Structure 1
Amino acid sequence: MMSQDDAHRLAYLEEARELLADLEASLLELETTPDDTDLLHKIFRAMHTIKGSGAMFGFDDIAAFTHDVETVFDRVRNGQLGVNRQLLDLSFHACDHIRALLEPGLDQDAILATQGRTILDGFHQFAGEDAAPSLPEAPREGHPPEERRGCQPLIYRLRIKPHADMLATGNNPLHLLEDLCALGDCRLFLHTEALPALDVLDPESCPVWWDCVLRTTASRQEVSDVFVFAEDDCELIIDILDDSCAEDGEQAHKLLGQILVERGDITPEDLEAALSSQKRLGDILTDQGLVHPTQVASALAEQSAVRTLGQKAQPERLEKTSSIRVPADKLDFLVDLVGELVIVQAQIRQAVDERGDPALRSLAEHLERLSDSLRDSTLSIRMLPIGATFTKFRRLVRDLSGELGKEIELVTSGEETELDKTVIERLGDPLVHLLRNSIDHGIENPEVRQAAGKPPIGRISLSAAHAGGEVLITVADDGGGLDAAGIRTKAEQRGLIAPGADLTAKELYHLIFQPGFSTAKAVTSISGRGVGMDVVKRAIDALRGSVEIDSDPGQGTAITVRLPLTLAIIDGLQVQVAGEYYVVPLGLVEECVEMARQADGAERRIVNMRGEVVPVMRLRDVFGLGGDAPAIEPIVVAKVDGERIGIAVDRVVGEHQTVIKSLGRLYRDVEEFSGATIRGDGTMALIVDVPALVRRVAETDGLR
């Protein structure tokens, strides 16, 4: 069984990977807007979180490495260093190095240490410093990691008095307070008693100071680290007012006099003398000139803040979190159970229909509604926006374009489009190959583009959109397009097609998906071995999807991937043909109509629907089933690629919750079916892949 420490470490690993993804996205934005100070603060905070949490959970190597990188970025955000490509390249290498250090069980300590030293040397050279010193030990002051894990928040008191010349050193106290507020619930009190008149105010000095009450789960060292680069420029006092890790978990709120004595604003003797009067303590101390009115106001603010934060602590411990992390295998197991429940529910419904008992029918209908809701809820948990996957590709385009000496801009759209978690996970590699292909083969070199009248910066578009029960993902570039003649020559040389074979442009384009096929003149580290596009085709086929290619010579290429929304459960329309049952995905179905035979008994190939001519294909003929069609045939009207297609069947059974079962490797080349499902009586029904079926019929028999 996993220990609590192991669970915390796993949680940190997952959080760190998310932070690294956000960090890379921010670095890519910084490359286009190097003067964005908010972005620099965001990058610094991400690094600070990775470092602080790494030290807390025992990842000392990550904490030490990130500390040096963070130091350089602190100088950048303070305006002492500028943003350029060298800094960004080093930062991306640093992200890769931290990601490698996160890998569990990686036995390459010596290699990683050398890589880390090389990266840090690069940062120090960028900053104009000597080579990096030996990696320091991760900070361990305050509560040790084993003591701070799982603790409730602490309440800290901070007194921050900037020196008069603090601004001249490049430090800005407002930035420090910003970082402090990012650690938790922060209450600030500004002291202005030393602020001179406006006519004698030195604009380069800092005559104000702050008292602060901070409630946070961060350790004392993490709070102190906020001021690590300003220690010599300010007077800093940090005290713990309330330690929620104490056994009793509670501490009485302190009186005003106690707070002032603890702060050193008054002595115990002054307090004792003041208490002998009948006035309020704050008024007494102010009247006697022992404290300034702002000091009393600050102490009262602290007293109120501690009381408020202390009262807030208890309900927050019981409050539900807005989200939780669930292991993927548990979620997959839940979906499998829901799938089995859907099958059993269908069997119960059929049994109830056969018995005809009204009471049982009512219960069965209620069970069906609950089953539908549970199915929809479970599947919605698995649906994730594809935008996170798109973000990862910005780094890929940047690195490869730089390696090839090309200037390429990646434009994304439709990031909010949701897709099944499993589909997204298995979609990464195919999209990587498509993008690499566009970068290497599609986009020309800047000189070639300019000679052709194009802008020197190439453009790759990555988009996603819903289309019925499918998701369309398109990778398009404005490069030179596919060379149909070159593809034909290469295919004839390899014996893939007969010399002079009559093929359409699209048929020629699809030859690039053949194993080992490549038109590259030389093999490079990026492409040329004819593997990438073959991987794309196999991966998309495994997801029950399809790939389409459109290319305009000299203008660019667009590759569209069609994928089902989910691989688990769908709504389907169950139909019957020649005694066999089939399921048509309901997301593609527009309506059902009927078509009678012609007077001479001939079968119709088209149907007139409110003035629109819709071609019809008969499943009986397409699948080679025997028997005679009924005199009046039901027509299921589906929409494929924007066109309406009629599917003639013998009988429309009705809607059916379809739990998709794989057909197995033996039938992997049967494109017309995307899977199978189990009906209520235990028999099997095949799930029709309507787009693939339409394409096959159009290629063989034609639709007219």
Structure 2
Amino acid sequence: MEALRQELLAVFEAEYRDHLRVVRDILAAGPVDGRGIGEIFRRVHSLKGAARVVERADIETIAHTLEGRLFGLLDGQRPVTAEDIAAIGTAMDQVDARMQDLAEAPAGPDGGEAAPPGREEAAGSYVQVPVSRLDALVGVMHDMMGIAERQERLWADLEDLTAAAARRTGPAADPAAELSRLTRALFALSRERGRIAGQADRAMMRLDEEVRAVTLVPAGTVFGSLTGMVRQIAREHGSGEVTVRLLGMDVRADRRVMQALRDPVIHLLRNAIVHGLESPARRQAEGKPAEPVLTLSVRMLGVRLLVAVSDDGRGPDLEAIAARAIRQGLMQPDDPCLPETLLSLVFAPGFSTRAEADRLSGRGMGLSVVAEAARALQGSVRMEAGNPWGTVVTMAVPVSRRQRTTLVVEAGDMTIGLPGRVIERLARVRQADIRMVDGRACFALDRRRGPESGLDAGAALVPVVPLAAFLGRPDAALPVHDGALSVVVLGMADGGCCGFAVDRMREVRILHISDAEAAGLDSELIPGVGWPRGDRPVFVLNPDTLLERWRMAGATGGHFDGAGDAGPDGGAPAARRVPIVLVVDDSITTRTLQKTILQTHGYDVLLATDGVEALALLHRSPRRIDVIVTDVEMPRMDGFALLDAVRSDPRLSRIPVVLMTSRNEEADIRRGLEGGARAYVTKQGFEQGELLDIIRGVL
């Protein structure tokens, strides 16, 4: 038990340092606005919850006191003053000093307080590794050592060949025979090098898989210790004894993902006690067990980890939620009170139906913290009424945050990644094999042999839809190239499958996935972005969301005109002109983001890095450019100069120009609009919908 406590203290030390660093950075940055106060509030609230877990009542008290002061600022009851800033800094110093005192206190002979491990030790967490996994790692290492030895022999053979060729030179040597001999030897060495390279690639992939598997830990190692804490919280709240059920504790996921979910799970359990539990008399009247039951369940669904906290209490009070939402301006009195809408409002910052705050329940920020934690993991959270009673809150997050084996394909102008584990089959289907069944394009797939030309009794009918139809182009047709379709078949939980047709399958590779934090991306469908090379990102799809949207569309998507590459008369297909947008910005990140947003919504996009390059493109491009979206601050020629050049050129003056820049001074806005810009958009408040509305308006 003492070892566990020391481990928790080590984790808490790293966590509190992170909270203090962020809060102090906000204070040092200058005037603290509402967003900064909100972030400080969230950090202090999380610090309070973590201090409770490790039984640091002194730090919990400091955080709770500061939380009360911040709550008034967060609600907009009064402005931030110098005294508030000083109070925040003092509280952070107090927390830091108390933690430093603990770190310096040596363990006494009577088993007193011991210093927690240092930062390096805290960072080096322990994981249990099955012997079979170690054996697999040892096997892969032996394979790699063998490959290294073969490479050494290959270099030795090449050196021998070079030395032999040098000895054979001379007047008596036959140049033709010597060249033939060297050519055969080099071909043999080249084939051996290719075999070694292939074996090395496969060994590296196996090594990567095994190493990543080591980082997967059972849910019980992170959540199993919460039972005692929850019971203690219930006693402090006056709820008496509660039954805590843990389900799915053997589910394995990335250790960092599990650790990131621990704090929001604690918030949910505390919230269930404060808001969900009922008196014994009421439980008896409703026929419930005498002892309340809290359940924490973990399960895997596709590539998503689902963590749910449920209780058997009174359930969500929809009337109280609606009343609170109206008071906070989150909805109007005449808005429809749909349960799903109301239950989504409980995750708003500062939302709570509780009239008073206490040391245990906090001040209504718990569910907001949960929502922020889920979004930070590129996940989601939802609340729903339990069956037959109670409340269920479920967080859904990606299983891993680091890297994933991915099939890279092209769909329209986008490069898309599909997680390899959900792919059942890759198929090349002839256009002639597509059949329309109940208004859906389908093909026959024998799961033993592949796509078949006939609808045999032993073959399954697989609906096929264009992947581009779910990437902002609902009118997309099936992409037929050279008389056939490239189809990725995804398996579903019920045993069925669906085929998504793509323009091209490029490769299978392990991508390092970063969070899709850029504005304008559909994070539910695209939770991550990989950058395998250059500035062309791979947008990694969530297959669960993709299949769900396919079902919501009626298990259809796009259309199949039966003509493929030919038009109705057998000639070239009738082309629907796509509007062309020229994006001008010296930031590669901004260019890539805007290009992705515009292409996703059906526009063709050309790129330029500054005004000089944009003008050259406008003059030499054989295609008609419909609108220009340009930054202002750029090298060589800025956005204002580009606007003047376009307006003064009779050939270009009709092209609408949209200025999109971080310069939001009134003088700059007036200068742009008076200079002929059709719109002026500031990047600080950039929203995808606004940009798209402006472009649609100027076309």
**TM-score with structure 1 length normalisation?**
0.47
**TM-score with structure 2 length normalisation?**
0.48
